[in-house]
Structure 1
Amino acid sequence: MELPRTPSFRLDGKRALVAGASSGIGLASAVALAEAGAEVVLAARSADKLSDLAEALTAAGHTASVLSLDVSDVDATEAAVAEGGPFDILVNSAGLARHAPALDTTEADFDAASDLNVKGAYFLTRAVARGLAEARKPGSLINISSQMAKVGGVDRAVYAATKHAVEGFTKSMAIEWGPLGIRVNTICPTFIVTPLTKQTFDRPDRRAWVEEKIKLGRIGEVEDIMGAAVFLASDAAALITGTALMVDGGWTAD
């Protein structure tokens, strides 16, 4: 009897671009991809913030380099990706939150969030896909979305709107680029302990709300996202595209 073989979770020979790699989920994703064998290009607005990570990865025997990249600058992003690509894998963790009651939302906060979380993510994803299409290569493109792409939340009307938009363009891109072998997915975390969530956890009432909603009874850590990133980037997820991988501790199970 010939037994089936589990597809590889390894990423040897692959080049991965990780945007927003200077901290939090982006940093953890970069480490995970490097550990799985990928050559990782670390991108953020300030390349200086990435030097320690690149040095640590190199010291551990991995291959890593640094790219200064402001995802909200579409022209610069497209030029950088065209010059440095093609990339077999994209993990886009660049994003921001401007939390406030909907009645208090400012136009500046709305524009800042949508410019990075939606427009920046859209054109970064497209730029990486264009490089793959021109090289006639398959690939895996992953945007870090949020559980707020599936539900709403107090003080999060703008943030939730941007993440709902990411889910929409992800599905459409997956349909268009599927025939090219380019997969497009999102990872939707619950609240993860990062600098971005500090303002929420500093408020006892908000922390209690979060802990009550997460069915597994704990707040997420960046390590909870690392396996998901490797899985979607690898051949183990070869038939997965246009979907959202929920890493939310059961928040959205209701």
Structure 2
Amino acid sequence: MTAVGIATGAGRGMGLACARRLTDLVDTLLLVDRDEPAVTAAAKELAAADEEIEVEPFVLDITDPAGLSRLTARATELGSLRAVSHAAGISPTMADWRRIFEVDLVGTARLAEALRPLATEGTAMVCFASMAPLLGNIEADPAVAAILDEPLRDDFLDRLREALGPAVENTGLAYAWAKHGVHRFVRREAVRLGPYGARVCSVSPGVIDTPQGRQEASAQPAMTALVEQTPLGRVGRAEDVAAAVVFLLSDEAAFVSGIDVLVDGGVCAAVRERAGR
């Protein structure tokens, strides 16, 4: 049966880098992005680079339930779901706190829920989280954890705002909490998918040289200090993250599920070492 791959956020940056690597794992690849010109151009690029793979652009806002239903239907038409790289997301300078949660955590949960019926032996998914909650030493108390673990409830954001207080309206803090929620979600999703022979993991990029990463760096001078503290002495490349993603999606990682892989050049280790944590 035709092996189908899905790469979200595939119009640019890390999402596109992951899509390039996915062409080695699948027969047909759906490139998902809300930016129609970008994702169409990416699909043409990948199709031209490898004539043996079918590449199809799919314009979608990952928070749109109707659009996710269309994506699921299209993937079902094409074959058997083999690999999902879910890089679509937004960072602190791109939206307010509510939209950050809606895209980065709720959107991740919606995508996983939509694709769960397609899971079968060998299906693997990688969701993008971040080093932000690790650097911020984010840890949810039981009450907040219970709320984070139900991101699809209609009153999710109101409950979270009540539990965390007005500080969560800071977009940097909201981003860290949303990505902490992704870490938690992946662990729970691994338990749900396991009986089908399917897997899910997350990756947490560090400071990565992408258009989105440069936008954040220009607004947050502290990111320069993080690069200076990075043991490997450089910013990351989109290809560094894509290499980790494609390993987790590959058969080489067939017994790896429910974990987060930190791709940060060692900066979290350095920061924690200096802080004595």
CA 1:121–1:219 in structure 2 vs 1: closer, same or farther (change >3 Å)? same
* Aligned counterparts of 1:44 and 1:25: Cα–Cα separation in 2: 12
Report how far residue 122 of structure 1 moved.
0.6
Matched, 1:179 2:179: no
Q: Secondary structure at the match of 2:265?
A: coil
Match of 2:218 in 1: 202
Q: Which amino acid aligns with 2:10?
A: A
Do the aligned residues in 2 keep the contact of 1:19 with 1:93 (CA within 8 Å)?
yes
- More displaced stretch, 136-145 vs 235-244: 136-145
Matched, 1:91 2:85: yes
Report how far residue 45 of structure 1 moved.
1.0
Aligned length: 233
Q: Secondary structure at the match of 2:104?
A: helix
CA 1:236–1:13 in structure 2 vs 1: closer, same or farther (change >3 Å)? farther
Do the aligned residues in 2 keep the contact of 1:215 with 1:250 (CA within 8 Å)?
yes
Report how far residue 189 of structure 1 moved.
0.7
Matched, 1:146 2:149: no
TM-score by length of 1: 0.84
* Aligned counterparts of 1:207 and 1:122: Cα–Cα separation in 2: 28
Match of 1:58 in 2: 47
Matched, 1:166 2:182: yes
* Aligned counterparts of 1:59 and 1:83: Cα–Cα separation in 2: 22
* Aligned counterparts of 2:62 and 2:192: Cα–Cα separation in 1: 23
Do the aligned residues in 2 keep the contact of 1:20 with 1:94 (CA within 8 Å)?
yes
Do the aligned residues in 2 keep the contact of 1:143 with 1:185 (CA within 8 Å)?
yes
Report how far residue 158 of structure 1 moved.
1.1
Match of 1:156 in 2: 172
Q: Secondary structure at the match of 1:142?
A: strand
Do the aligned residues in 2 keep the contact of 1:33 with 1:229 (CA within 8 Å)?
no
Report how far residue 203 of structure 1 moved.
5.7
CA displacement, residues 4-28 of structure 1 (integer Å, 9 cap, x when unaligned): xxxxxxxx95311011100110000
* Aligned counterparts of 1:52 and 1:202: Cα–Cα separation in 2: 27
Q: Which amino acid aligns with 2:6?
A: L
| Residue from 113, 116, 122 that aligns with 1:129 | 116
CA 1:79–1:58 in structure 2 vs 1: closer, same or farther (change >3 Å)? closer
TM-score by length of 2: 0.77
Q: Which amino acid aligns with 1:206?
A: A
Do the aligned residues in 2 keep the contact of 1:90 with 1:125 (CA within 8 Å)?
no
* Aligned counterparts of 1:234 and 1:109: Cα–Cα separation in 2: 36
Report how far residue 60 of structure 1 moved.
1.4
Matched, 1:21 2:10: yes
* Aligned counterparts of 2:171 and 2:40: Cα–Cα separation in 1: 35
Give 5+ residue unaligned stretches, structure 2: 138-169, 273-277
Do the aligned residues in 2 keep the contact of 1:99 with 1:159 (CA within 8 Å)?
no
Match of 1:118 in 2: 105
Match of 2:70 in 1: 79
Match of 1:70 in 2: 61
Q: Which amino acid aligns with 2:234?
A: R
Do the aligned residues in 2 keep the contact of 1:78 with 1:124 (CA within 8 Å)?
no
Give 5+ residue unaligned stretches, structure 1: 1-11, 101-107
* Aligned counterparts of 1:32 and 1:70: Cα–Cα separation in 2: 23
CA displacement, residues 124-164 of structure 1 (integer Å, 9 cap, x when unaligned): 012112222xxx44310110111113222997211111100
Q: Which amino acid aligns with 2:127?
A: N
* Aligned counterparts of 1:204 and 1:119: Cα–Cα separation in 2: 25
- Alignment root-mean-square deviation, CA: 2.3
Do the aligned residues in 2 keep the contact of 1:170 with 1:242 (CA within 8 Å)?
yes
